[in-house]
Structure 1
Amino acid sequence: MLRFNSSGTITSAQWILSNTSSNCAGGATPWGTWLSCEETSSGRVWETYPATGASAVSRPAMGRFKHEAAAADPVRQAVYLTEDQTDGCFYRFRPTTWGNLSSGTLEVLVAGTGTSGMFTWQVVPDVDGSPTTTRNQVSGAKHFNGGEGCHYANNTVWFTTKGDNRVWEVHVDNITGSTYGDLYVAEDGGNLEICIITPDDIVAPFLRLVGHDSSEITGPAFTPNGQRLYFLSQRGTSGSSSGGITFEVTGPFRV
C-alpha cells in the first residue's frame, strides 16, 4: 500500500497482504477495501484493508480459478470477475449481504459463440473448482481468450481479453475509466502502451513505456478526483519480478 497526500507526495508504505501466489489486477470495492486476485489454477480472491491495515481475508465463495480482475457493481450488488485462461469465463459474484463477501452465489455468463448477442447467468455448482474446473461446469458458458482488466460504470461492465486483443462491453440490467467516460486500456506485451477509448469510440495511444521489453503494464487507476493516474510496470526494465515500478501521471485529465 502506498499512501500519499493531496499533492501526490508519498507519505508512507506498508504490506497489506503476504503468503499468496501470483496476484494480479484485482479491484476496489465501494466500502473501501481492495480485492487482490491470485492468478493460479486454484487462485483465490483476497480482501485487503488498506485504510485500516487489518489482516487480509480469503474469500473462497468467489471461486477458485485463475483470477485476474474484479469490478464492483453497487446497483446490482455484484462483483464481476475475469479469468486469465485461453478458454476462461466471465463471472459475477452476488454476496448474500452486500458489503460482506464471505458468502454468496457465483455465476458464469452463458451466451452463444459470436462476439455479440443476448446472454444469461447460471450458477456455478462447485466454486472450489475441483475436480472439475469452474469454467467447465456449466454447459453453454461463454469462453474468452485470456480475461484481463475489468471496469464497471453506468450500467455497463467492460473487460479485455489479451488472446484476441478485444475490449468487451456487457450491458448489465446494468481496465479503468475516467470521470469523463474515457477508458484507459493497458497492453500486456506488444509495444507496452496505454490506449484511450473515448465515449464516441475513438481509439488512440495515450502513453508508451520504452525499455520495458520483458514487462507488462498493470493496474491503471485514477485518484478519486480524477487528476492523477497510477499504473505499474510489472517487471520494470530488469525483467525481474523484483524490478516492478509504479508510475504517476498528473493531469489535468478530461472531467
Structure 2
Amino acid sequence: MERRNLLRAAVLGGSVAALGGSLWRGAAYAAPAQPGAGPYGALGSPNANGIRLPSGFTSRIIARSGQTVPGTSYTWHNAPDGGACYVDDGGGWIYVSNSEINPSGGASAVKFSAAGTVTAAYRILSGTRTNCAGGRTPWNTWLSCEEVSLGYVYETDPWGVNAAVRRDAMGRFKHEAAAADPVRQVVYLTEDETNGRFYRFVPTTWGDLSSGTLQVMVAGTATSGSFTWANIPDPDGSPTTTRTQVSGSKSFNGGEGCHYADNTVWFTTKGDNRVWQLNLTNNTYELAYDDSLVTSGTAPLTGVDNITGSASGDLFVAEDGGNMEICVITPNDVIAPFLRIDGQSGSEITGPAFSPDGRRLYFSSQRGTSGSSSGGITYEVTGPFRS
C-alpha cells in the first residue's frame, strides 16, 4: 500500500487535485498498516469537550442535536452522520451533515465566514430515511445516501438554493458512502450489508447523474488480487437485490466509508474491521488495514466507519464504537490514534471532513453523552495538520 513519494495536493473545496495515491509494485502486495508513532504525537488529557488531542490542537462544539446552532435560528438535526466541506464566497466554507434517523432523515448545512464564524445553518434535504454517509461531487453537490433496504441516493445543494433530486439510476440498495472519481468519471458506492458489494456508477454524461450504468466489482475471494466491473442488470433491486444479480461479484462485510484520491479509492468494512484499497490504474485491490493482521500490541482501530483524507496523503478513519477514536493512516503505512472522545461509549464518530484550507477537521459524535440520537454533537478541531 505504498503511498510515499507521490504528488499530494488535496481534493478540497471546489478545487480538484491529486491526494495521496498508490503505486502498484509488480506481483508483491504491501503489508497492511501497522501501529506506530503517529505524525502528531501522543494524545493529551481530555479537554473541556472531553476530547483527547495531540499538542497544538484545540476543539469547539459547532452544534448539538435539538438545539439552535449558535449564531443562527436553525435547530440542528438528530443523529448527525456523514459530511463534507465546500468552498463558499468570500473565503468562507460550508459543512454539510446527514441525519441518520427514520423517518425524517435528510441533511443540514452550516455556513462559516473566512474567520470561521458560523453565519448560517439550514436544511438541504427533507423527507428521506436514515441518511447515513454520502460524498461530495466535483461540481459541488452533496450525495446523501439512504441506509435502508432499497434506499436511494439524493443529490443536494449545499447552499440550499436548488431542490434535492433523487438519483434513481444510481441503484436501490442499502447505500452507505459515495466517492467521485473525476479521472474515470464515475462514482463509487458502498453497501452496508453483511454480504454487501462495491459498486460504481458510470453517468451517461459526467456532471449529470440522471442516467447511466450501475456496475459491481467482480473479483475472487482473496484479500488481494485483480478485479473487473460488470453491469447490474436491474439497478432498482427488485425482485432480485443488486448484490445477488452478478455471479462472481465480490462480497464485502458491511461497507462503510469511501474516499477517492490520485487514482486510488479506499473504503471500509465494519464487519471485519478492514480498510480496502483499489489501485485503479492497475485494477488491483489489497488491504490497507486489517485489525486481525496487527503484528504487535493492540489494534488501534476497530469499528471502522467513515474515512477521509488530508493534503499530506494521510487517511483519517472514524470509529463506530471501539474507543471512540479517529485514527490516522500515514503514507508510510503507520496507523495511530489522532483523537479520542471520552465519556461517550454509547455513540460513534461520524462525518469527518476537512475545511477547504485543510486547517480544520469537522466530525460528529452521533449520540453524544446521552447515547440517544437526540444527543448528537458536531465538533471542529483546529491545529497544525500536515500539508
C-alpha deviation, 1:120, in angstroms: 0.3
Q: Which has the higher contact order (CA 8 A, sep 6+)?
A: 2
1:37 aligned residue (136, 145, 160): 145
C-alpha deviation, 1:181, in angstroms: 0.2
**Corresponding residue for residue 219 of structure 1:** 351
Q: Secondary structure at the match of 1:254?
A: coil
The 5 Å alignment of 1:28-177 reads 28-173=136-281, 175-177=307-309
**Corresponding residue for residue 238 of structure 1:** 370
Cα distance in 2, alignment partners of residues 185 and 19 from structure 1: 29
| Unmatched tracts of structure 2, length 5 or more | 1-108, 283-306
In terms of Rg, which structure is larger?
2
One-letter amino acid matched to 1:117: G
RMSD value, Cα: 0.9
The alignment-based identity, stated in percent, is 73
CA contact (8 A) 1:145 1:162 kept: yes
CA contact (8 A) 2:124 2:160 kept: no
CA contact (8 A) 2:122 2:160 kept: no
Query: What TM-score comes out, normalization by structure 2 length?
Result: 0.65
Cα distance in 1, alignment partners of residues 322 and 174 from structure 2: 22
Cα distance in 1, alignment partners of residues 127 and 374 from structure 2: 16
C-alpha deviation, 1:53, in angstroms: 2.2
Structure 1 stretch displaced more, 169-178 or 142-151: 169-178
Question: Are 2:125 and 1:17 aligned?
Answer: yes
Query: What TM-score comes out, normalization by structure 1 length?
Result: 0.98
Cα distance in 1, alignment partners of residues 328 and 210 from structure 2: 36
State how many pairs are aligned.
255
Runs of 4+ in 1 over 4 A off after TM superposition: none
